[in-house]
Structure 1
């Protein structure tokens, strides 16, 4: 019986590790999206802002041109943030399947059947 319990515990630990690896992969992808969005947003904002501002300066004051370009990038940044946050909310670091099987194991240990 001790051997069976040890085997069961090893299997539970392996299951927990697998679940945590899977969730960590999801978290890594979400973090990569945050990083990519941040760097891409920075580069695009820098060069597109300059180009747009120089284009707008031909028809309005420089300060207004800069303000308009800034507002556009603020909207883009907000959309990227919301998308990254929704991806991050999908991540669960709690190994649900392991918790469930441990509950079942505890139930069985209290009332073993032959």
Structure 2
């Protein structure tokens, strides 16, 4: 330690420590806000995917289903079987899009994990600093 550090009073050291802890807490809160905002943005995209899946599924069922059923029926397939085949294929596509959207929307992916790791690391560092004394 340098000579000026040795002359600091206990009150000054405690004040410096409190200022450092306060700054650390403010920085962690700012990081948490930024991370939650980023995760909320991803949730918005996931909700957009779900809405898009619903729209695509409806449009596909209304426009392409009739054309595909007609094309299959013209190949000699019964119209009922043609409609069933087209409906199953479109349902699979809609389900895949819905599954992707809901998996991206899980609550665990929205939690501020980086902030939690940083807070844990900071707490261990502070604990280690006091254990050394």
TM-score by length of 2: 0.68
Deviation, 1:88, is 4.2
Residue 37, structure 1, aligned to residue 53, structure 2: yes
Summarize the Cα distance change of 1:60–1:92 in structure 2 as closer, same or farther, 3 Å threshold. Answer: closer
Give the length in aligned residue pairs: 113
Does residue 51 (structure 1) correspond to residue 67 (structure 2)? The answer is: yes
Aligned-residue offset at 1:14:
0.4
RCO higher in 1 or 2 (8 Å CA, sep ≥ 6)?
1
- The higher radius of gyration belongs to 2
State the TM-score, normalized to the length of structure 1. 0.77
Looking at structure 2, the residues matched to 102 and 54 of structure 1 have their Cα atoms a distance apart, in angstroms, of 62
Q: Once superposed, what is the RMSD of the aligned Cα atoms?
A: 2.5
CA 1:51/1:112 → structure 2, altered by over 3 Å: closer, same or farther?
same
SS at match of 1:60: coil
Work out the CA distance in 1 between the residues paired with 2:109 and 2:82.
44
Q: CA deviation at 1:18?
A: 0.8
Gaps of 5+ in 2: 1-14
